[in-house]
Structure 1
């Protein structure tokens, strides 16, 4: 569902550039996506006892009863499942937004940015304002007390929410780990509360679900045709058939929308990278190496020889202050005694010696 949410919000953002009225929908994106999720999951649960995400992988939900044959969810179980699937993520998103809105960055140890709620100052300011207003009169004293209670409640929430979030994430991880180790039939706390498990839908189960769906629709259309006058029957039947078509094709349309969103994301990302590559400046040339000092060790005519021992370099090494290469023992002994580069006489230490694993 995160990909679906990103696709929906991105599409609304693009359309809102030409239709400013859609900005109002973006202001209520949590509520809008909750309605979309409720519609999709409601249709999927009613048709195949599975959520919209489960149908993409050929899965279905069934009550967990090892001693009984698998069966579809009852309407009551479908409503309970829908409440958890839509209500819990919505409440979690609202609590997270509330926490992010009332926290502030503070400098911590080693310059790290920590997040701490803005609680003491707000509660103190509320208390001071309440004292001042109570001193001036008692007409709005209950309003000040209400504001103080809200500040205290916000303070408690800001302190408890990180711990609650940690417990929730830890509980979800524990269930997933237990499910992978086959220690539990539930891979999430929600399934455990609902006493449901997810299973692979067989071809026979899918055929039975499709047959039951068609039979229910046939009964609904028959009931509409047998009531009211001709125009009312025609309108009601048209509305039912339009709803059936929307329900049948929404899944495929949303899958295509997700793929289209990913394609557009890749296309524009590639175009931006290409433009950035074309505008990228060439790297500047490296600085010239330090010149040899008059009293330094002269460089040999053959660059493969060590300037100190005048033999082929073994265990090549260099000093970072100059970049000239030597034998590692020669360079180590020279810097230990002289404290400088042999060629340029620039001050150096043992820490500036680096091994070279490929000599050129």
Structure 2
């Protein structure tokens, strides 16, 4: 089962968007898994221990999924969902599957490199100052010289500590220097790595390079669409290998040992065959539950929402103001049908624009309520016919 039709337009070169989607699948899956664990940890505090080792946990999950996919279909877990596979780059030779050595090298780059990168990023974020920018270009505070008394006290402590204390101090100084060098170099290394990835992706998009990422270039591999024949051959090879393993188990040991070993093998095969589909269903189920609870929260929030306050009453006419006509379509000033209707924002009563403009210019207030007003408070009204 894959998200895209195997074969595409007949070309073995995947599109840029297929590779981008496959490349971003595992980080998105990691975020979903960590979020799910954090939600469940609110009711099961024991899961907090798992969150403390989230990098190691997801590295093991990734290693298991990618190892099975590489062994069965010469593709990573994300590649199989989009009908892709990896092959050694040899333009003049027919496409072939990865060797076991190439699969191990691919697994190291897929699991080990992201794990080390996550640890380095966590270390940098833990020791980064709040005011530092992207490249860490923040002026450092000068070291405050110690007083002579403090210096003498430190010297006495060093002499009392002996050689072990000196080695500990040297080790602490070396760690501090190494950490300072790392904090200065890591942003630049991160920038170089992101720049290389962007350059390779741009070159692939422009069909100037067969490699989508620096990792594929180092491994001398390229990603291609998996044809139906390749998938069929891979499935046949997998079934044949499993039959050989089961036959080997049945021909060794006593009956109980053979039964246990065969049961474990078949359980592992079932887990390998259905892990991908189960994970896809779990993702869809997670999104469904997220939508369900979001809709319920929105409904509860709508029920608890307070009604808007009623509008304030209109200002009452002043005793010495212009009286209102009995017909609301007439202008209170000229007693004629309103033309070019206008109102003043301080009261809301409507007049003819020339009448209201001239009155406010002379009197500086609303004709009816006598509330102070200016020319800026006059608004034209446009009535639909």
TM range (shorter): 0.7 to 0.9
The more displaced of 105-114 and 241-250 is 105-114
The more displaced of 255-264 and 321-330 is 321-330
Return the offset for 1:212.
Answer: 0.6
SS in 2 for 1:114: coil
Does the Cα contact within 8 Å between 1:84 and 1:190 map onto a contact in 2?
yes
Does the Cα contact within 8 Å between 2:136 and 2:187 map onto a contact in 1?
no
Does the Cα contact within 8 Å between 2:135 and 2:188 map onto a contact in 1?
no
Decide whether aligned partners of structure 1 residues 77 and 112 sit closer, same or farther in structure 2, where only a CA change above 3 A counts.
Answer: closer
Return the offset for 1:318.
Answer: 7.4
Q: Gaps spanning 5+ residues in structure 1: where?
A: none
Deviations 1:157-182 (A, max 9, x none): 33333333333333323332332232
Decide whether aligned partners of structure 1 residues 106 and 322 sit closer, same or farther in structure 2, where only a CA change above 3 A counts.
Answer: farther
Does the Cα contact within 8 Å between 2:136 and 2:184 map onto a contact in 1?
no
SS in 2 for 1:142: helix
Deviations 1:186-221 (A, max 9, x none): 222222222222211111100000001111111112
The more displaced of 145-154 and 109-118 is 109-118
CA distance in 1, matches of 2:135, 2:328: 46
Decide whether aligned partners of structure 1 residues 133 and 237 sit closer, same or farther in structure 2, where only a CA change above 3 A counts.
Answer: same
Decide whether aligned partners of structure 1 residues 290 and 260 sit closer, same or farther in structure 2, where only a CA change above 3 A counts.
Answer: same
Return the offset for 1:13.
Answer: 3.9
When normalised by structure 2's length, the TM-score is: 0.72
CA distance in 1, matches of 2:138, 2:381: 39
CA distance in 1, matches of 2:132, 2:325: 56
Deviations 1:71-95 (A, max 9, x none): 1111111111111111122122222
Decide whether aligned partners of structure 1 residues 137 and 54 sit closer, same or farther in structure 2, where only a CA change above 3 A counts.
Answer: same
Decide whether aligned partners of structure 1 residues 181 and 294 sit closer, same or farther in structure 2, where only a CA change above 3 A counts.
Answer: farther
Which residue is 2:219 aligned to? 194
Return the offset for 1:354.
Answer: 7.6
Return the offset for 1:129.
Answer: 7.6
CA distance in 2, matches of 1:114, 1:312: 73
Which residue is 1:115 aligned to? 140
The more displaced of 97-106 and 122-131 is 122-131
Decide whether aligned partners of structure 1 residues 337 and 242 sit closer, same or farther in structure 2, where only a CA change above 3 A counts.
Answer: farther
SS in 2 for 1:105: coil
The more displaced of 287-296 and 225-234 is 287-296
Question: How many residues align structurally?
Answer: 360
Return the offset for 1:282.
Answer: 1.2
Which residue is 2:320 aligned to? 295
Decide whether aligned partners of structure 1 residues 154 and 108 sit closer, same or farther in structure 2, where only a CA change above 3 A counts.
Answer: closer
Does the Cα contact within 8 Å between 1:103 and 1:118 map onto a contact in 2?
no
Does the Cα contact within 8 Å between 1:105 and 1:114 map onto a contact in 2?
no
Deviations 1:130-183 (A, max 9, x none): 998579877523323332332333333333333333333333233323322323
Return the offset for 1:68.
Answer: 1.4
